[in-house]
Structure 1
Amino acid sequence: MLSQETITIVKSTVPVLQEHGHAITKRFYARLFENNPQLKNLFNQTNQKQDRQSMALANAVYAAANYIDQLEAIIPAIQPILHKHRSLQITPEMYDIVGENLLAAIKEVLGDAATDEIINAWAEAYGEIASVFIALEATLYQEVKENAFEGFVPFEVTEIIKESNDVKSFVLTPPDGMRLAPYQPGQYISVQAEIPTEEILHHRQYSLSKAYDGVSYRFAAKKDGIVSTHLHDNIRVGDVLRISAPAGHFVLDGSDSPVVLVGGGIGLTPLLSLADQALRLRRKVTVLHAVKDHADRPFAEQLEDFASRGAEILYYAEQNADADVVSGYIDAATLERNATDAEVFICGPEAMLQYVVNACLAATTAEHIHYEVFGPSLAVSTANA
């Protein structure tokens, strides 16, 4: 347990983290990869180049400092990180490496302002934070050990489906004799890609797009980025992809309330399995799907199937909107009307997420709004809840 003195010192650094947190985390990642190049394969290097990863870490460090005396309060917010760590096979030893480089980055960026007293307090606090993460992740690893497979396992690609001009679905079956690990609709798998032109392995998370059937996994990838482009251009039926067991917290609750699913483009992927499950449970389902071009809308057949099973499907498109499609963006009034008394699930670009969250907050509270972020877990404000 942290001493009151340590808690006081760490909380006193919150204003400094607000001002310098991004610079600290940028320096942290530079140090981490300089000193431990073997860890590059665990991080999306595109997000590194776009500075998204350091911004996400800055948010996490700030939250940890602000709640250092009540870390249990941030457990719901860190669930996406815990699941992603499990899917990437993050080990406790890696936390020592992270801590060493993070403390060094704080010292470098703050200079003389980072006194020994502050660095020592942060070292103690980081140890406490790491212990919380490690303990929670150990539970996830134990669940996988009992119910699924460990590590990255080769699955055969048995079917590839063209969903649109730039979206393909990949169906994977497990090795002979291996039971398909169960999953909850809304969860994802991590794909470990060995790309001939790359020096390191790349890992990407892809949402599972159908409810569990005990036979195969299916995920969809938009041709955008090094791994998804590799999948589109190089992977054929009969090839093998190494994946880790399903992970993620973006899942239905146990209530019978209506379910509203809001997707932007490829963001519909995890919502497909959620819609399927909710319809099987006889819950009222409304799907709002926005795309740039209706003529090239992915997953059209699945959406038509949901409609035939009783779901209300609202289509939006910026281009080629026909009589049954709203031209333009999803409007706030429709979101507010549907969010009332419902569980809302959102997946899409960050700007869309924030817009939809704000609109839904006019009709419901933050606890009934669930979202999945593309890439690192950047903050989506629910301050009006």
Structure 2
Amino acid sequence: MISAASRPYIDASVPVLREHGLTITRTFYASMFAAHPELTNLFNMGNQASGVQQQSLASAVFAYAANIDNAGALGPVVSRIVHKHAAVGIRADHYPIVGFHLLGAIKTVLGDAATEPLLKAWEEAYGSLARLLIDAEAKMYADAGVQPGELRAMRVIELVRESDNVTALRLAPADGGALPPFKAGQYVSVEVVFADGHRQLRQYSLSDANGKDSLRISVKREDAQADVPAGAVSTWLHQNVKVGDVLNVSHPFGDFQPDTESNEPVVLLSAGVGITPMIATLNRIAQVNPERRVIFAHAARNAAHHAHQADIAAAKARMPYLHVVTFYEDGAIGDALPGKMELARLPSWPKGETDVYLCGPLPFMQAQWNALLAAGAPAARLHREVFGPDLLDNLL
């Protein structure tokens, strides 16, 4: 909460942030990295180059200002941010650095419009949010039994090419110890140190169920597209990792946790590499309740880009009430339907009583979300896994 004196200035900032938010965040990152180049090790520099990171922060700041009294709207956003921060090792001492450069960027971009009362209001608002995040992250680290930024050596014990651009890496603790517990839908950060010594972390969803002696991640090779460069970490992993190599990996985090333990019917909708948390979910359900009614629908460009087909076949063999529907954008092959996923071509289910989980590119999730709402599914029954600015599109 912020004071009554500061609230009018935060409210007045909403149209300003809508107009100047991206410029402010670009100025912020440039200033902060110039003063603290070591922080580039914590940030996704690929997203910096593409502008996604700046847009994400601009969206977050704007959403915070526009919903500062709406705890119900901000709660899920804060939860996602806390999990992501824990996965990359954000510490309490990072927050004053961010605050200093964020307020400096506001002052630089707005000039005379950044009055002393407005800057004081944002200093208070940022301090309130920072304290909320610091406390939540401290609890998360304590619950996980790890220190901020702590990584564990994991040996690659298997590599499986799942599709033309997705390779699955199976990882076991290099020290022979026990695996950390996790829930389907969660992810880990993987560290890569490049030849020039630069370090980067990337998050990858765990793509198999808990309860085994190894973890599995499925890495999509992010090829260059138009003005977007190739993914540095995904390319490095595809080109360099061999069985027997050791990677440093974080504890599992992430609050996208589909219900795998109940008897209620469930619907899992995915596209592209968004299949990975859904496969972990499906495999867990096959472990604990193979009689559960599940609709598993996936959209891919074609069969060559359809990852984890073996997992789906194994689940179908174990789960008599599993209904799988596949869409190939390039055209029908076998049982796959042609074109993009459409709600009308899925089996029917009681929309008001069934949880639906979505993961995939933002346009895919927006299309399915809107179609589900139009069909009578309440928003409370819809859940999605998103990164970057995508989580905030319903707040802006």
Q: Normalising TM by the smaller chain, what interval? A: over 0.9
Q: Per the alignment, in what secondary structure is the counterpart of residue 171 of structure 1?
A: strand
1:159-218 per-residue CA deviation (whole Å, 9 max, x = no partner) reads: 11111222111011013342210000110110011122x441010000101111241100
C-alpha separation in 1, matches of 2:57 and 2:126: 13
Contact 1:56 1:379 (C-alpha < 8 Å) held by counterparts: no
Q: What 5-or-longer segments of structure 1 have no aligned partner?
A: none
Deviation at 1:3, TM superposition (A): 2.0
1:264-308 per-residue CA deviation (whole Å, 9 max, x = no partner) reads: 121100100111223423432111111111244211111111222
| 1:78-117 map, 5 Å | 78-117=78-117
**More RCO (CA 8 Å, sep 6+):** 2
| 1:1-385 map, 5 Å | 2-69=2-69, 71=71, 73-145=73-145, 151-196=150-195, 198-224=196-222, 225-253=231-259, 255-279=262-286, 280-281=288-289, 282-308=291-317, 309-310=319-320, 311-319=322-330, 321-334=332-345, 337-338=348-349, 340=351, 341-362=353-374, 363-373=376-386, 375-379=387-391, 381-382=393-394
For residues 337 and 49 of structure 1, do their structure 2 counterparts lie closer, same or farther at Cα, with a shift above 3 Å needed?
farther
C-alpha separation in 1, matches of 2:389 and 2:189: 16
Q: Which amino acid aligns with 1:5?
A: A
TM-score between both structures, scaled by the size of structure 1: 0.93
C-alpha separation in 2, matches of 1:240 and 1:66: 45
C-alpha separation in 2, matches of 1:302 and 1:153: 27
For residues 124 and 268 of structure 1, do their structure 2 counterparts lie closer, same or farther at Cα, with a shift above 3 Å needed?
same
Contact 2:42 2:200 (C-alpha < 8 Å) held by counterparts: yes
Deviation at 1:125, TM superposition (A): 1.2
Q: Which amino acid aligns with 2:233?
A: V
1:225-265 per-residue CA deviation (whole Å, 9 max, x = no partner) reads: 11111111101011000001000011124654321111112
Contact 1:187 1:207 (C-alpha < 8 Å) held by counterparts: yes
TM-score between both structures, scaled by the size of structure 2: 0.90
Contact 1:294 1:320 (C-alpha < 8 Å) held by counterparts: no
Q: Which amino acid aligns with 2:283?
A: D
Q: How many residues align?
A: 380
C-alpha separation in 2, matches of 1:200 and 1:339: 51
Contact 1:261 1:271 (C-alpha < 8 Å) held by counterparts: yes
For residues 31 and 150 of structure 1, do their structure 2 counterparts lie closer, same or farther at Cα, with a shift above 3 Å needed?
closer
Q: Which amino acid aligns with 1:41?
A: N
Single out whichever of 126-135 and 280-289 deviates more from structure 2. 280-289
Q: Which amino acid aligns with 2:194?
A: I
C-alpha separation in 2, matches of 1:221 and 1:76: 26
Contact 1:64 1:74 (C-alpha < 8 Å) held by counterparts: yes
C-alpha separation in 1, matches of 2:132 and 2:346: 37
Q: What is the RMSD computed on CA atoms of the aligned residues?
A: 2.1
Greater than 6 Å deviation, 4+ residue runs:
none
